[in-house]
Structure 1
Amino acid sequence: MIEHVNQLGGQPPHIGPPPTDSTPIVWAWDTTADTLGGHSVDTAATLLDSNERTRAERMIKPADRDRYLAAHLGLRVILAAYLNLPPQRIRLTRESCPTCGGPHGRPNTPDSPLHYNLSHSGDLAYLALGTRPIGIDIEQTPTPQTVTDVLHTLHPKETTELTNLPEAQRPHALARIWTRKEAALKATGHGLAQGLTDPYVSSHPTPATIPGYTLTDLAAPHGYTAALATTDNPE
C-alpha cells in the first residue's frame, strides 16, 4: 500500500499522481531545516493562519516553536502543490469531534476532497494524504520510565505482551503500540480523548487487524517509529 515515504527538502516538492483509495501518500521532512519547499522557515509564520500563529506564539521553548512552524510550513507547501494554490491560501479546518461534538475532530481543508493528517516528533514531521479519512503518527522511541508510566493504561493484551518482553525491548515495542494506536484514533477522529485501551493494535512486528481500518507500519529513521491508519470504506 505504501511503497515509500516521499522526502520534502529545500526545493519545491515534485508532485506525482494524487492519492487513490488503495494508495495513500506519505511525506516526511526535517523540522530543523532552514528551507522547506522553496520557503525559508524563518518566514513561515507569514504563510500560516491566525490559529497556527497563535498556537506557535504560546509555545514557551523556542525550539518547540520553530519545529511547529516548520511542520506547518511543510504541511502547507505540500497541500498547496496538490491543490495548485499558494500555501497561505490553504484553509485548515476541523471536523466535529465524534466524542464531544467540539470543533477538534479530524483536520480537513474545504479546498479539496483530500483527507490529510500531520504528526511531528523530535526533528521529524510526517504527513499522510488520502481519499478517505486517514491518521498518521510518528514518535521518538520512549524511555523505560515512559513504558512504566503507561504500561497499565494500554489494552490488557498489550500490557501482557510488554511485560513478557525483556526490559531492553519494551521501549521499541511500546513505540509500535503507541504509533499504531494514535494513527488509528486520529483516523476515527476521536484522538486520545477516550484513553489508550482501545483499539488493540499489538506490539508484535505485524499490526493487529482493526475492523474497518488498515494499519501499516512506516519506514522511519533510527530512534523513531511511525504508523499509518486508513479507513477501508468512504465516509
Structure 2
Amino acid sequence: MVTITGVHLPELLPDDVMTRMRFAVSAERRDASLRFQRQQDAQRSLVGELLLLHILRERYQLDADTLDMGKNSYGKPFLTQHPHVHFNLSHAGDWIICADDSAPVGVDIEKVRPIDFAIAERFFTSSEYKLLLDAPEQKRLQLFYTLWTLKESYIKFVGKGLSIPLDSFAVQLVDEHTARLTAPDPKEDSSGGWDDHRSQSCFFRKINMDGHYQLAVCATRPIGPRPLLMLDWSELLPPEHFI
C-alpha cells in the first residue's frame, strides 16, 4: 500500500533540538548537515532522514542500526538488504514528504512561486505547453506546478534522474486528482524515448495542499483518495537521554 507522510517545520529549530537530531542520524547525514550555510537546509536534511527512519521502524519494523543504504547508478537511494521496501523523499519550503510502498514510488513537492513560463516551453511537451497557455491566466501558475510535480514524481519513480528528458513523455490530467502517462508529439520524440516510458506501468495522484504548495505521487498501483498522513516534527526526535 502506498503511503505518503508529511512533516511541516517551523521556520527555525532551537540549537539543542538540532543537536539531538544530529545524534540520531547517520554520520554521513550529520556531517552533511554541518556543511550547510543555511539552517533551514540543514534541518530539512536532518528531518528528512529522521522521517524515513521513523517510517522504516514503525511501518516495516526495521532497526536503523542494521540498515545498509545504497544508491543506484543515478543516485536514487535504496535499502540493500530489503529490496521489498521502496521509498522516496522530497522537500520544499516548510515541508518534508516521504512516500513508501513495497514497489517503486516517486514523490515531488514544490513551493508555488512566480516563474518565467518560458521554462514550460523549454521542458514541457507541446501538448502540455498548449494546455498551460489555454488555461485562464489566474490558474496558469498552479497548473504549471501541477504538471511539473507530476512529471518530477514520474522521473523519481523510474529512478533515472535527469537522464530522462522532461519532454520525452507527457502527463495528461484525468480529473482534479489523477493523471496518466502519455506519448509526446511524434516530432518531439526523435530519439524514440517513448518506447522506454511505455513499458512503465504507473499511476499518478495529485494531493491537494494549501495554495502555496503542489504535491504529486507516482506509483505502480492506484494510490486512491486517502489524505496525506501528517506527523509533528517533534514526534521524530529521539529521547533526550539518547545523547
TM range (shorter): 0.7 to 0.9
> What CA distance in whole angstroms lies between the structure 2 residues aligned with 1:63 and 1:181?
26
| Cα deviation 1:157-213 (Å, max 9, x = unaligned) | 111111222332121001111111111111111123333213201367341335411
Distance 1:45 1:136 in 2: 25
Residues 80 and 90 in structure 1, CA contact (< 8 A), matched pair in contact too = no
The letter for the 2-side match of 1:120 is H
- AA paired with 1:215? F
Corresponding residue number in structure 1 for 2:202: 213
Compare 23-32 and 119-128 and name the one that shifted more. 23-32
1:144 match: secondary structure: coil
User: How has the CA–CA distance of structure 1 residues 197 and 207 changed in structure 2, closer, same or farther, with 3 Å as cutoff?
Assistant: same
- CA distance in 2: counterparts of 1:172 and 1:222, whole angstroms: 8
Correspondence 1:1-235 to 2 at 5 A: 23-32=1-10, 40-97=17-74, 104=75, 106-112=76-82, 113-145=84-116, 147-202=117-172, 205=176, 206-209=178-181, 211=198, 212-231=201-220
> What is the Cα deviation at residue 122 of structure 1?
0.8
Cα distance in 2 between the residues matched to 1:88 and 1:220 = 34
CA distance in 1: counterparts of 2:81 and 2:56, whole angstroms: 10
Q: Which runs of 5+ in 2 are unaligned?
A: 183-197, 222-243
Instruction: Report the aligned-residue RMSD.
Output: 2.5
- Relative to the length of structure 1, the TM-score reads 0.74
Shift of 1:220: 2.3
| Cross-structure match for 1:16 | none
Distance, in Å, in 2 between the alignment partners of 1:86 and 1:131 is: 17
Number of residue pairs matched by the alignment:
199
- Runs of 4 or more, structure 1, over 4 Å off, are none
Q: Is the 8 A contact 1:41 1:70 kept in 2?
A: no
- Residues 107, 218 of structure 2: 8 Å contact kept: yes
Instruction: Tell me which protein shows more helix as a share of its residues.
Output: 2
- The whole-number CA distance in structure 2 between the counterparts of 1:118 and 1:138 is 9
Partner SS, residue 192 of structure 1: helix
- After superposition, the Cα gap between the structure-2 partners of 1:119 and 1:46, relative to the gap in structure 1 and judged at 3 Å, is same
Q: Secondary structure at the match of 1:73?
A: helix
- SS in structure 2 opposite 1:79? helix
Q: 2:163 & 2:31 partners in 1: Cα distance?
A: 23
Contact conserved, 1:118 with 1:125, CA < 8 A, in 2?
Answer: yes
Distance 1:185 1:110, change over 3 A: same
How big is each residue's C-alpha offset from its partner over 1:37-65, in whole Å with a ceiling of 9 and x where there is no partner?
A: xxx55421222223323432332212211
- When structure 1 is superposed on structure 2, of 57-66 and 114-123 the one drifting more is 57-66
- The higher radius of gyration belongs to 2
Instruction: Give deviations 1:12-58, integer Å, cap 9, x for gaps.
Output: xxxxxxxxxxx3111111133859xxxx5542122222332343233
What residue is the counterpart of 1:12 in the other structure? Answer: none
